[in-house]
Amino acid sequence: MFYPEPISKLIDSYMKLPGIGNKTAARLAFYTIEMPDEEVTDFAKALISVKRDLSFCSICGNITDQDPCEICSDESRDKSTILVMESSQDVVAMEKMREYHGRYHILQGVLSPMDGTGPEDINIPTLIKRLQEDEEIIEVIIATNATSEGEATAMYLSRLIKPSGIKVTRLAHGLSAGSDIEYADEVTLLKAIEGRQEI
């Protein structure tokens, strides 16, 4: 079935979002048509605002509407620790826990030779500069995902940072709370064994 051009364009736009196929995009497009004009206008303004009003923090690389970001501007945070993460979404997850009080550094990706992503393509140079300029930093916690790219990035950063004398640690990986051992994959079980603790 052929749609009028405005609907086709809207469907194509929705299909550019991750996880949205043709049927879902069409359903969203028709839902948008039925929305009150004011809600559609607010939705469009929100999309424009996200692109126009947000940038990356010049210190940590987190997405922000002010520079430096709120976390980097907070003088009460522990300046001796930097938690290195892949994306701004990871920071939100960590902040929800309300247990980490240090600073962050967002890589905005991971090393992936298969995709042509090298050290200069993600936010590594800024991290190294921070570590060289800030003598208060005594530990870097690497919190990349437990994927092959995340592991490779963690190893690369560790080799880069350790010669400076700064302690480099990695978030523990392993069994999640409430999971059954029989359903865990080999890598998860290996990480759980390696990260075991005395009780």
C-alpha to C-alpha distance for 57 and 54, rounded to whole angstroms: 9
Q: Do 97 and 167 fall into the same domain?
A: yes
C-alpha to C-alpha distance for 88 and 169, rounded to whole angstroms: 20
Q: Are 60 and 69 in contact (CB under 8 A)?
A: yes
Q: Do 86 and 168 fall into the same domain?
A: yes
Q: Do 83 and 164 fall into the same domain?
A: yes
Residues in contact with 14: Cβ distance below 8 Å, sequence separation at least 6, in sequence order = 20, 24, 25, 28, 29
pLDDT digits (tens, 9 = 90+) for 47-75: 999 999 999 999 999 999 999 999 999 99
Query: In the numeric block, which tokens belong to residue 152?
Result: 């490779």
Within a domain: residue 157?
A: yes
H or E element in which residue 159 lies = helix 148-161
32: domain CATH number is: 1.10.8.420
Count of domains in the chain?
Answer: 2
pLDDT digits (tens, 9 = 90+) for 93-112: 899 988 899 999 999 999 99
C-alpha to C-alpha distance for 24 and 15, rounded to whole angstroms: 8
Q: In the predicted model, what is the mean pLDDT of residues 171-188?
A: 76
Query: In the numeric block, which tokens belong to residue 62?
Result: 């987190």
82: domain CATH number is: 3.40.1360.10
Question: Whole domain around residue 11: which residue ranges?
Answer: 5-53
**Signed CA dihedral, 51, 18, 146, 191: sign only:** positive
Q: What share of the chain is helix, strand, coil (3-state, %, to 5)?
A: 50, 10, 40
Assessment of whether the complete model's pTM goes beyond 0.75 = yes
Within a domain: residue 120?
A: yes
